[in-house]
Amino acid sequence: MKSLFKLGGSLSPKSSTLAGIGGFLFLIGAWFLITDWTGWVRPETIPSPIDVFTSIGELYNQPKHGLMDSAWYSIGLNVRGFMEAISIAVPLGFLLALIPLMRGMFSKNFQLLRFVPITGLTGVFIAWFGIGTPMKAHFLAFGVLVYLLPVVIQRVYETEKVHLDTVFTLGANSWQTFRKVYLPSVLSKVIVDIRVIVSISWTYIIVAEMVNNSEGGLGSMIFWASKQSRLDKIFAIMLIIILIGIIQDMLFRLIERIFFKFKFAQK
């Protein structure tokens, strides 16, 4: 029992699972306590769990842009934006990190993009791409790119020098060094970074979908729920987004185990 409270200690896999379940049940119980059981918090401030879960059925049965259609639209937008961002950030990151001229000319300039307030650029993307789905995908891709590009560059710099020295000793040329050392080393780390950035991307999806919200999406549902002052619907949609995020995280973990087995073999 003392090990559960030891400073800097760790839990066994079984204890960790049980603790996670216990924490979840505690939060749900606290939610019930302050809303349904005691009424300490008014529904206008925090809706009760019963109202939230009931509203999921209402959202599902909407005649236009129901819950399933909206969820699939947002997931598709997420995948499209991420694929675009990855296809730009990964090769560009390698160029900026490995080619001295490119690094000197553009590395600092691109890293400054991190300070750009992404949500303030909605009007710019509307001017460039209109108000349809392509604009939303490009907006999301840019939002992901400004975070992912510096990460790729940093991961290139973190490549183990001993591995580079080894392939140099074996007589590898530049292409072989890139393919056998840099590429697997960087991608095996970036996949973890992408898992983290996925959670950030949902902010930009919601912002983008509020533009021309007639196309649907979870962001559009939040917009209309806000117009109706339906906090129960807003909470329900947030729970759906969290569920999607959990599934995405599990998929990325699976991809990591399939394509980068060497990371787990070392353990």
Residue 176 has pLDDT above 70, yes or no: yes
Query: 265: which residues sit within 8 A by CB, 6+ positions away?
Result: none
For residue 227, how far is the Cα from the chain centroid?
A: 27
pLDDT score at 95: 93
Lowest mean pLDDT among 48-52, 134-138, 195-199, 231-235: 195-199
Which residue type is seen at 191?
A: I
Average pLDDT over residues 16-32: 87
In sequence order, what DSSP letters do the residues of the chain get, joined into one string?
A: -GGGG-TT----HHHHHHHHHHHHHHHHHHHHIIIIIS--S-TTTS--HHHHHHHHHHHHT-SSS-HHHHHHHHHHHHHHHHHHHHHHHHHHHHHHHH-HHHIIIIIHHHHGGGGS-GGGGHHHHHHHH-SSHHHHHHHHHHHHHHHHHHHHHHHHHTS-HHHHHHHHHTT--HHHHIIIIIHHHHHHHHHHHHHHHHHHHHHHHHHHHTTTGGG--HHHHHHHHHHTT-HHHHHHHHHHHHHHHHHHHHHHHHHHHHH-HHHHH--
Average pLDDT over residues 34-55: 85
Tokens of 207: 């912002």
pLDDT score at 260: 82
pTM (2 d.p.): 0.83
pLDDT score at 129: 92
The structure tokens 């991809």 sit at 255
Count Cβ atoms below 10 Å from residue 246 Cβ, excluding itself.
10
Which tens digit of pLDDT belongs to each residue from 109-135?
Answer: 887 887 888 888 888 999 999 988 899
Domain locations in the chain as residue ranges: 11-41, 50-265
191 in Cβ contact with 255 (< 8 Å): yes
Residue 45 has pLDDT above 80, yes or no: yes
- Give the length of the chain: 267
pLDDT score at 259: 84
221 in Cβ contact with 67 (< 8 Å): yes
- pLDDT higher at 166 or 10: 166
Q: Which is nearest to 193 in space by CA: 228, 254, 238, 149? A: 149
**N-term to C-term CA, the chain:** 28
The CATH classification of domain 50-265, taken from the options 2.30.40.10, 1.10.10.10, 3.40.190.10, 1.10.3720.10: 1.10.3720.10
pLDDT score at 94: 93
Phi-psi map region of 160: left, alpha, beta (phi>0 left; psi -120 to 50 alpha): beta
pLDDT score at 105: 84
Which tens digit of pLDDT belongs to each residue from 60-97?
Answer: 888 777 889 999 999 999 999 999 999 999 999 999 99
Radius of gyration from C-alpha coordinates of the chain: 23
pLDDT score at 156: 93
Tokens of 92: 């560009």
Which tens digit of pLDDT belongs to each residue from 203-258?
Answer: 888 888 888 877 888 988 998 888 888 899 999 999 999 999 889 889 988 988 88
pLDDT score at 37: 81
pLDDT score at 2: 59
